[in-house]
Structure formats: structure tokens, C-alpha cells
Amino acid sequence: MATVTATAERAAPTRNPWPGVVVLAFAASVAAVQNTAVVPLLPVLQRELNASLAAVSWTLTISLLVSAVATPLLSRFGDMYGKRRVILTALALLIAGSVIAALATTLTWLIVGRVLQGFVAALVPLAIGVVRDVLPRHQLATGIGVLSATMGFGAGGGMLLAGLVDGDYHALFWVTTALSVLVSALVAFLVRDTGSPGGGRPDLAGAALMIIWLVALLLGISQGGAWGWTSGPTLGMFAVAVVVAVIWVLVERRVPQPLVQMAMLVHRGTVGATVASMLLGFGFFMSMTGISSFVQGPALRAGVLQVGLYLLPSTLFMLVISLFAGRLMRRFAAASLVGTGSAIAGAAGLWLVFAHAGPSDILVATSLMGIGLGVGYAALGTMAVEHVRPEQTAIAAGVNALVRIAGGSTAGAVIAAILAALPGVHGYQWVFGVAAAAGATAAAFAFVFGRLNRDLTAAPA
């Protein structure tokens, strides 16, 4: 009788869920800010902390690396202990990391702060899980679209914020602290977790193995140029990555509740979104990091504030598109939007391969990038979950966020490898060309698997 009563209470209409959804969208944008805000600051950090560019690049890479592991791990904690509680925990870690980074005067302490900040990436799949629980089914695509689109806006806003503080990383992280405190208070007051926490155990062994093979892979890619691609350390890192990755897959296939469900990576309803998400995340960071570094180089000699202005069109387009995310999701198929957005984002990289001589070329590229990412991110969350069973929604969203972050985390290492082998403008052309190829491939996967899933859905049982 008690179970029936509880079910009836959950089914009965209560408060309007949309204020909570809007707050979660704001939280997702704040989470995305911390990922990209350090990108234009890398040359500044190199000077102020007296470190090499390869060393300060880890302030970006380490945060993405932690994000890749924290996303599935905290998503699992959300299922076990309640999503709202884990969201607030992730925001508390973001506040702590922001304060440490704001006070840091050495690279070591800055990296410690960035490690703590990286945990907030899990907020996105957790928020999608909350939205799934509180919104009626016919509004679910709109809610996920708003979350995904504002995440893209936040990523662009992080680059702009770095420019507005004029390269002062202490001020940047104090602003991040203030935003984090504000969003934490809003989540505490306006977000309710209606889902029932479940039991189980976290896959700590899977998390540890994943950290090892990802770190080994990124070290091999980023340091290969300096160590030599056929040197013992480089080949050793790649060998460790391969061996540990194989062990990780075997462990994940055997544990009852794995960190990453391998079956979900190749699920016919999600594999298109999985590959598109990974490539879109990779292409996004390739383009953003490449543009930031290129315009601060000898070609344009831009300051950090100018970098933010160059990237302003991208941020504005993502903001505008986020306002229409719900309307887009109601009118067009998610796979079509992801494919179109990926193609436009890829066109931004292609444009810079051939046209990069002046400010107008950069502004055209950042406009294309903003349009593409705004459209693609708006639909990515829905594409990841629309063809799985309702009880698999959180798992599919977590896997999709994981592969997107993993793709982004490799971008910095790939850029370092390309520019070490091909310094100067020619190297940047290769960087932008790789970003263009990633966008085109992501578009192909989205369109092809979107069509296959439509055909499978339409086919008679």
C-alpha cells in the first residue's frame, strides 16, 4: 500500500519543474566555463609561472582527464545516493578547486585546483537524469536540448571570460568561484530529485584503470615530438596505454556494475551519437585551442582580451541557438541536427585552412563554429538517449558525455604533437584541417546512424 501511495505521489502534478530545469541549464553552462576558460591563458601561464607550454597545457588536459573519469563515476553515485546530492557535491568541488586555483602562485597548486574543478563535468549527465525524472515525456527532448545548448554557450563563454579579465588568471578563478556559489544556492533551493536512489557499488577498479591508460596515451601523444616517436619512453607509453586499456575492457565486461557499459558504446541506438559526440568534442577543442594559440602568435599578435573578442561571435551564436533549442528539437530529428551542426563546425576548420590572414577570416570561422556547435550540442543529448529504454537513459547520457570529454582531452595532445613537428602557420593549417575532418566524420556518423535508427524504428516487428 505504501508503494502504491508513493507512486501516486510521484505521478501527481506538483510544482512547475521548469525553474529547476533552467537552473540546471545555468549550472551546465558554468561547468562548461571552467573547461575552456584556461585555453587563451596558456601563454600567460607560461610566462607568469615560468613553465614550458607543454607543462602549462596540463592545466587544460588534467581537468578534461578528471572529467572523463568523474563523469561515469559520479553518474553512478547519482544512481546510488541521489542525483541532486551528487550535483551539489560536484559543485562544492568546483568551488574548492576555483578557490585553490585563484590563490595559486605555482603550477603545482594550479593543477591541484584544476583537478578538483574537473569533477563538475559529471553535472551534465546527472542533470539530464533529473530532467528525465521531472519532465513529462513530451517535454523531455526540449529539456535535454536546453541543457545541451547552454553547455555549448558556456564553453564559448569561458573563452570570452578569460578575455574580459584581461589574462589575470587569479581574477578568472575568483569569478568562477562566485558563479559556482550562486549556482549551488540556486540548485539547493530550486532543484528536486524525484528519482529513487538505488543500491550497488562503485567501480573503483575500472576508474583507476581508465585513468592509467588515458594518462599514458596522452603523455605519449603530447611528448612524442620531444621524446622522439620511436623512442623508448614514447613507445612505452603507448604500450602501457594499449595493455591497460585491454585489461580495463576485460574488467568492465566482468563486473556487475561497470564504470562504462561496453554494450552501450556499440548499442545500435547510441553508436552514432557516441562517435559523433567524441569527434565533435575533439574538433571543438582542436578549433578553440588552435584559434586561441594562432591569433596570439606572430600572425596576428592578439592579446587575451582580443582572443575573447575573436571568439565572441561563437559565444553569441551559441547563446541565440540555445534560446531556440526547444523549437529546433520539436521540428527536426536529433540526428539531422547533430549532423548539420557537425558539418558546419567542420566548415569552420576548413575555412581556416585556406583563409587565415586577417581578423575577418577568424571572425567568419568563429561564427561558423558557434552556429555548428550550437545546433549540434542542442541535439546531442537527445540523440544519445532517444533510442534506448527509459531505464537506460542515464547510462546512455553518461557514456555520451564521457566520450565527448575523452575526445576533447586528446585534442591538446594532438595539437602539441602537430605543432612540434610543423611549427608556424603550416602546422596550424594541419590543426584546422584535422578539426575539419573530425567535423565531417561526425556529420557522416550522425546522418548514417540517424537514418538506420529511423528505418529500424519504422520497420514492423
Distance CA 217, CA 150 (A): 31
Around Cβ 254, how many Cβ atoms within 10 Å? Answer: 8
Cell for 50?
A: 615560468
Per-residue pLDDT tens, the chain, 461 aa: give them.
Answer: 444 444 443 444 457 878 888 888 888 888 888 877 888 888 788 888 888 767 787 888 888 888 878 887 887 788 778 888 899 999 999 999 999 999 999 999 999 999 999 898 888 888 887 887 777 777 776 777 677 666 666 776 787 788 788 778 899 999 999 999 999 999 999 888 766 666 667 788 888 888 888 888 878 877 777 788 888 888 999 999 999 989 988 888 888 878 777 777 776 667 788 888 899 989 988 998 899 889 988 888 888 778 878 888 887 888 788 777 777 777 888 889 999 999 999 999 999 999 998 899 999 999 999 899 888 887 887 787 776 676 666 667 777 777 887 788 788 778 878 887 888 899 999 999 999 999 999 999 889 887 877 655 544 43
Give the closest residue to 93 by CA, choosing from 181, 187, 211, 198.
Answer: 181
End-to-end CA distance of the chain: 37
Query: What does the H/E/C string look like for the chain?
Result: CHHHHHHHHHHCCCCCCHHHHHHHHHHHHHHHHHHHCCHHHHHHHHHHCCCCHHHHCHHHHHHHHHHHHHHHHHHHHHHHHCHHHHHHHHHHHHHHHHHHHHHCCCHHHHHHHHHHHHHHHHHHHHHHHHHHHHCCHHHHHHHHHHHHHHHHHHHHHHHHHHHHCCCCHHHHHHHHHHHHHHHHHHHHHHCCCCCCCCCCCCCHHHHHHHHHHHHHHHHHHHHHHHHCCCCHHHHHHHHHHHHHHHHHHHHHHHCCCCCCCHHHHCCCCCHHHHHHHHHHHHHHHHHHHHHHHHHCCCCCCCCHHHHHHHCHHHHHHHHHHHHCHHHHHHHCCHHHHHHHHHHHHHHHHHHHHHCCCCHHHHHHHHHHHHHHHHHHHHHHHHHHHCCCCHHHHHHHHHHHHHHHHHHHHHHHHHHHHHHHHCCCHHHHHHHHHHHHHHHHHHHHHHHHHHHHHHHHHHCCC
Distance CA 281, CA 42 (A): 20
Alpha-carbon torsion (138, 144, 146, 149), positive or negative: negative
Q: What is the pLDDT of residue 379?
A: 82
Q: What is the pLDDT of residue 9?
A: 39
Q: How far is CA 156 from CA 30, 129, 149, 179, 448, in A?
A: 11, 24, 11, 16, 28
Distance CA 249, CA 263 (A): 11
Distance CA 28, CA 158 (A): 12
Cell for 233?
A: 619512453
Burial of 28 (0-12, 13-18, 19+ CB in 10 A): buried
Q: Which residues contact 130 (CB under 8 A, 6 or more apart)?
A: 20, 24, 83, 84, 87, 191, 193, 195
Give per-residue burial for 397-422: e unless 16+ CB within 10 Å, then b.
bbbbbbbbbbbbbbbbbbbbbbbeee
pTM check: above 0.85: no
Cell for 121?
A: 563535468
Cell for 53?
A: 607550454
Q: Which residues contact 425 (CB under 8 A, 6 or more apart)?
A: 299, 356
Distance CA 57, CA 300 (A): 21
Q: What is the pLDDT of residue 438?
A: 96
Q: What is the pLDDT of residue 100?
A: 96
Q: What is the pLDDT of residue 308?
A: 78
> Angle of helix 169-190 relative to helix 137-164, nearest 10 degrees?
160
